[in-house]
C-alpha cells in the first residue's frame, strides 16, 4: 500500500511541541502521498483501534471481543464470554452414587456406582436422554473414568471384596478386560483417553489410607508416573495424559476437603491455583487450561461451580440445581454434564452446563 506523510515543520512551537490548534489538522498535500489513492489501504495499526459500528441488527456471526451499537434498540453490545447456566437434562435410568463417566455432553457414558448395592450398569447419553446398554463385567463404585462414549475406560474402584486393580475398556458395545493398575484404589482421579489414560490419587486401602500414586496407560498396560505433591482421596480430574488437572479431595485429616490444585505435564505435578471452595467427592470436566469443578461435599452436599483458566479458579454465580456429591462429570468447560450422585440419597438427576461466547448488552451501573 502507499505511505502517508504529514509535514509538521511549520507547526512546531519553540518549546518543541506540536501546535495544538492546527498541528494535527488541515489538508495533507497530495505530494506527501507516495500513492495518491487511498484505495490501496488494507489495514490500520492496532494502536489506532477500530471504530464502533452502528448497525440496525446484531451481526449474524460476530467475532470474539467485537463491539457494536444497535441503532434499532439503541444499545451498545458486545460478543464475549458469558457466565454459564445449568439446565435440567434427561434422568439416568438407575439412580446411583459413586458413579463414573466419560465422553461429552451430547455423547456421554456413565457406569458403575451404587444404588445400593454395587452396580455394573452402563448408560449412554445423546444430549437429551439416557439409554441402558451392556453392563460392566465387575460391579464397582468410585472408579476413575476416561475416554469417550465409544472408547471408554473404567479403572480401579471399590468392589464387593475390597479395592480393585482391574481396568475395563468399552468399545461402544461391550466391556472387555484391560491391564491392571499397580495400586488398587477407590475415589481416584482420571483423565485422558482409552489409549493414553491417566489415574492419580485415591484411597489405596480400607481405612482411608491416601496415595499420591500416578499411573499412565498406553492401551494395554499401566506404568508409574510422577507422584502427586499432596496425596489425597475423593479428588476430581480432567484433561489429557500429558496435561492433566487434579483438584479438591480429602487428605484424611478430618477436614471437610481441600482446595489444592495440581497440574501434570506428563512426568511431574506442580501446584496450580486453589479452588475458592474447598471440598471433596466433587466432579470435574474440561482441560488443564479450561477446567470446571462442580458439586462435592464439605459437611453437607454442595452445588458450587467454579471455572479454571490455567492459573486461577473463578466462582460462577450459577450453581447446580441439585446439590450433590459422589457424582459423575464429563465434557468441556463450556458444555459439561453432571449426573447421579448423592443428594443425600442416590439420584438420577442430570444437569447440562452451557457457557461460552454470547451477545451481551453493555450496561453501566
- Write the pLDDT tens digit of every residue in 15-46: 555 454 544 445 545 555 454 444 443 443 44
In the chain, which residue ranges form alpha helices assigned H by DSSP?
none
Cβ-proximal residues to 21 (8 Å cutoff; 6+ apart), any chain: none
Q: Tell me, what's the pLDDT at 20? A: 47
Q: Which of 41-45, 69-73, 74-78 has the lowest mean pLDDT?
A: 41-45
Q: Tell me, what's the pLDDT at 118? A: 97
Q: Are 167 and 153 in contact (CB under 8 A)?
A: yes
Burial of residue 16 (number of CB atoms within 10 Å: 0-12, 13-18, 19+): exposed
pLDDT at 170 over 90: yes
CA distance 194 to 150: 10
Q: Which CATH number fits domain 83-355: 2.40.30.10, 2.120.10.80, 2.60.120.620, 3.40.1180.10?
A: 2.120.10.80
CA distance 259 to 146: 23
pLDDT at 13 over 50: yes
Q: How confident is the model at residue 364 (pLDDT cuts 50, 70, 90)?
A: low
Backbone angles phi, psi at 82, to 5 degrees: -120, 160
Residue spans of the domains in the chain: they are: 1-42, 83-355
Q: What is the mean pLDDT of residues 222-251?
A: 97
Q: What is the mean pLDDT of residues 248-264?
A: 91
Q: Tell me, what's the pLDDT at 78? A: 83
Best CA proximity match to 156, nearest among 168, 165, 145, 148: 165
pLDDT at 9 over 80: no
CA distance 323 to 312: 23
Q: How confident is the model at residue 168 (pLDDT cuts 50, 70, 90)?
A: very high
Q: What is the mean pLDDT of residues 59-82?
A: 80
Q: Which three cell numbers stand for residue 316?
A: 460462577
Q: Are 265 and 213 in contact (CB under 8 A)?
A: no
pLDDT at 173 over 80: yes
pLDDT at 148 over 60: yes
* Helices (runs of H) and strands (runs of E) counted in the chain: 0, 30
With pLDDT > 70 as the criterion, what percentage of the chain qualifies? 83
For the chain, what's the residue count? 365
pLDDT tens figures, 265-324: 999 999 999 999 999 999 999 999 999 999 999 999 999 999 999 999 999 999 999 999
Q: How confident is the model at residue 253 (pLDDT cuts 50, 70, 90)?
A: confident
pLDDT tens figures, 337-363: 999 999 999 999 999 999 866 677 877
Which residue has better confidence, 192 or 62? 192
Q: Tell me, what's the pLDDT at 355? A: 87
Give residue for cell 438407575: 94
Q: Tell me, what's the pLDDT at 123? A: 98
pLDDT at 162 over 70: yes
Q: Which three cell numbers stand for residue 129?
A: 436422554
Q: How confident is the model at residue 47 (pLDDT cuts 50, 70, 90)?
A: very low
| Bridging pattern class, strands 152-155 and 167-170 | antiparallel
Best CA proximity match to 201, nearest among 252, 137, 246: 246
Q: Are 289 and 245 in contact (CB under 8 A)?
A: no
Find the farthest-apart pair of alpha carbons in the chain and give their distance in angstroms, rounded: 93
Q: Tell me, what's the pLDDT at 66? A: 85
pLDDT at 14 over 70: no
CA distance 315 to 100: 24
Helix, strand or coil, per DSSP, at residue 333? coil
Which residue has better confidence, 133 or 365? 133
Q: Which of 7-16, 30-39, 74-83, 176-185 has the lowest mean pLDDT?
A: 30-39
pLDDT at 65 over 60: yes
Q: Tell me, what's the pLDDT at 75? A: 82
CA distance 109 to 149: 5
Q: What is the mean pLDDT of residues 203-228?
A: 93
Paired residues of 360 in beta bridges:
78
Amino acid at each position: 500500500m502507499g505511505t502517508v506523510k504529514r509535514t509538521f515543520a511549520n507547526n512546531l512551537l519553540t518549546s518543541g511541541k506540536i501546535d495544538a490548534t492546527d498541528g494535527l489538522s488541515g489538508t495533507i498535500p497530495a505530494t506527501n502521498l507516495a500513492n495518491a489513492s487511498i484505495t490501496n489501504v488494507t489495514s490500520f495499526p492496532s494502536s489506532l483501534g477500530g471504530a464502533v459500528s452502528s448497525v440496525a441488527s446484531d451481526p449474524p456471526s460476530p467475532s470474539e471481543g467485537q463491539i457494536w451499537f444497535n441503532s434499532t434498540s439503541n444499545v451498545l453490545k458486545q460478543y464475549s464470554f458469558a457466565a454459564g447456566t445449568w439446565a435440567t437434562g434427561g434422568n439416568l435410568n438407575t439412580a446411583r452414587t459413586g458413579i463414573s463417566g466419560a465422553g461429552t455432553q451430547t455423547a456421554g457414558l456413565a457406569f458403575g456406582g451404587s444404588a445400593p448395592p454395587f452396580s455394573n450398569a452402563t448408560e449412554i447419553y445423546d444430549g437429551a436422554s439416557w439409554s441402558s446398554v451392556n453392563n460392566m463385567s465387575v460391579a464397582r463404585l468410585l472408579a476413575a473414568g476416561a475416554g469417550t462414549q465409544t472408547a471408554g475406560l473404567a479403572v480401579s474402584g471399590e468392589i464387593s471384596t475390597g479395592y480393585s486393580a482391574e481396568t475395563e475398556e468399552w468399545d461402544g458395545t461391550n466391556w472387555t478386560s484391560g491391564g491392571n493398575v499397580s495400586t488398587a484404589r477407590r475415589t481416584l482421579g482420571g483423565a485422558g483417553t482409552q489409549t493414553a489414560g491417566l489415574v492419580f490419587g485415591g484411597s489405596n486401602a480400607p481405612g482411608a489410607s491416601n496415595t499420591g500414586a500416578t499411573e499412565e496407560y498406553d492401551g494395554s498396560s499401566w506404568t508409574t508416573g510422577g507422584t502427586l505433591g499432596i496425596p489425597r482421596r475423593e479428588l476430581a480430574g480432567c484433561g489429557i495424559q500429558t496435561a492433566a488437572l487434579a483438584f479438591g479431595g480429602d487428605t484424611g485429616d478430618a477436614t471437610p476437603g481441600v482446595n489444592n490444585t495440581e497440574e501434570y505435564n506428563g512426568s511431574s505435578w506442580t501446584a496450580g491455583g486453589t479452588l475458592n471452595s474447598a471440598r471433596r467427592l466433587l466432579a470435574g470436566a474440561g482441560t488443564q487450561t479450561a477446567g470446571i469443578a462442580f458439586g462435592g461435599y464439605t459437611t453437607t452436599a454442595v452445588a458450587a461451580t467454579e471455572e479454571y483458566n490455567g492459573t486461577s479458579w473463578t466462582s460462577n454465580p450459577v450453581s447446580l440445581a441439585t446439590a450433590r456429591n459422589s457424582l459423575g462429570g464429563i465434557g468441556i468447560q463450556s458444555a459439561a454434564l453432571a449426573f447421579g450422585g448423592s443428594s443425600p440419597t442416590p439420584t438420577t438427576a442430570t444437569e447440562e452446563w452451557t457457557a461460552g461466547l454470547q451477545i451481551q448488552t453493555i450496561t453501566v451501573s
